[in-house]
Amino acid sequence: MNYRIESIAQLQNLNYLNVSNNQLEYLPETIGNLKNLEHLNLIGNRLTQLPQSIGNLCGLKSEIDAYDNPLNGLPESASKLQVQILY
């Protein structure tokens, strides 16, 4: 599945992304190109970190749900986000 996640960044008008329960081990840095993304569901993957580019998701005001991932923390760039809910 990871090789396909790279192509998601080409979907410039995407506003809702649900990649839950896909055993993803990483998100590509290019995810930060999704300026219109409002909601990001990452539940139940194998993510240990989020990319620095996550802070570029200026449209992300609703929610990031990363429940049930072995995250080691959030990147410093996440402080730029104005999300209402972060799981």
Q: What is the pTM of this model?
A: 0.84
Give the pLDDT of residue 21.
Answer: 97
What average pLDDT values come out for the chain (87 residues) when binned by 10 residues? 74 94 94 92 96 89 86 87 66
> Residue 41's beta-bridge partner residues?
18, 65
String of b and e for 58-72 (b: at least 16 CB within 10 Å)?
eebebebbbeebeee
Domains and CATH numbers, the chain: 2-86 (3.80.10.10)
Instruction: Name the pairing type of β-strands 85-86 and 63-65.
Output: parallel
